[in-house]
Amino acid sequence: MFVQTCIMQKVLLFFLLPIFCSSQANLDGIQSLFDQKQFKKAETQIAGFLNSHPNHMKAIELLGDAFGHQKKWDEAIVEYKKLVDTKPNTANYHYKYGGVLGMKALQNKFKAIGLIGSIKSAFTKAAELDENHIDTRWALVELYMQLPGIFGGSKTKSLKYAEQLENLSIVDGYLAKGYVYEYDNEPELAETYYKMAIQEGGSLTCFNKLTNFYENKKQPEKAIENIERAHKNHQRNALHYQIGKVAAEYNIQLQKGEQCLLMYLKNYSAEDGVPKAWAHYRLAQIHTHQKNKKDALKHINLAIVQLPKIKPFKAQKSKILNL
């Protein structure tokens, strides 16, 4: 499949974030429904509103967003196509349209080839219409790197959009170049640009990009060092889990990994993102590495009780029982 999932993750997050500027009473509750993930209910309410206001552009966009949240790509395509046809000079409409086309391509590899031209055209048009549209340029950087040359893939084009990103946001430009060189198997350049992004911006996103790079390159010691630098700057509990995860997966610095995971559990809040069950799973992995069957079973059982349907948990328990 030519359009990979990572291209669309950023797109999906963006085009599914509605921007509410309508004062229509019938649409006032839609934001709350989106926040509560009641997408089907939002779809029904918006569709009802459109029955009496069929040309209301904001409502059409919101309906497309509601469909997108539910992965109803064909229906979302129809709504965003209406927006593109009605207001062809609105960059964000082309961006959203390209996004759902990309998601449909991911869903059906046989149709992907036929959709590539439309995806490129939509993103390119959005970039032409809005010289400051960062997310569109990110989509183009990733798209042109991942497409085979026969379908228009081009490192040169990716770098062109990375340069445009750098003109808009130095950090995004560095991260985009890091992505290009990582994808093109030029690890030294990729690492350099990810480090430049950290130096320039220093956000968790920048640190995470470098951490993921080290993990992808099987360099767990460097990954842990980078996470520790991130924690020094940001003091986020979620980073304790990341250290424990790397330690558990690569069987390194197990004592540090255990301490970090216990700290994660002690200070856990919903904002940390990763459920506590996964921290127990990582602790079970660490104790398995240490041949500590009793503690490994304790933590894997806690993980399974909290999230009983997770297959890796059950596989880990089987491994522990065989110690």
pLDDT (tens digit, 0 to 9) for every residue of the chain, 323 residues total? Answer: 444 544 555 555 554 444 444 434 467 788 889 889 899 999 999 999 999 999 999 999 999 999 999 999 999 999 999 999 999 999 999 999 999 998 888 887 778 889 999 999 999 999 999 999 999 999 999 999 988 888 888 999 999 999 999 999 999 999 999 999 999 999 999 999 999 999 999 999 999 999 999 999 999 999 999 999 999 999 999 999 999 999 999 999 999 999 999 999 999 998 999 999 999 999 999 999 999 999 999 999 999 999 999 999 999 999 999 99
Same domain, 142 and 234: no
Q: Which residues contact 100 (CB under 8 A, 6 or more apart)?
A: 15, 64, 68, 73, 76, 77, 80
Same domain, 133 and 6: yes
Same domain, 158 and 51: yes
Cβ neighbours, 10 Å, residue 321: 11
Angle 187-200/170-183 helices, nearest 10 degrees? 160
Same domain, 135 and 275: no
Same domain, 108 and 231: no
Does residue 196 belong to any structural domain of this protein? no
Does residue 194 belong to any structural domain of this protein? no
Same domain, 151 and 286: no
The pLDDT of residue 12 is 52
The pTM of this model reads 0.82
Q: How far apart are CA 42 and CA 201, in angstroms?
A: 37
Same domain, 83 and 54: yes
Does residue 197 belong to any structural domain of this protein? no
| CA-based torsion, 272, 276, 277, 280: positive or negative | positive
Q: Count how many domains the chain has.
A: 2
Single out the residue in 161, 189, 217 at which a domain terminates. Answer: 189
Same domain, 175 and 218: no
Does residue 195 belong to any structural domain of this protein? no
Domain carrying residue 27: 1-189
The pLDDT of residue 18 is 46
Does residue 300 belong to any structural domain of this protein? yes
- We report the CATH number of the domain holding residue 181 as 1.25.40.10
Single out the residue in 133, 161, 189 at which a domain terminates. Answer: 189
Angle 238-250/254-266 helices, nearest 10 degrees? 150
Same domain, 144 and 277: no
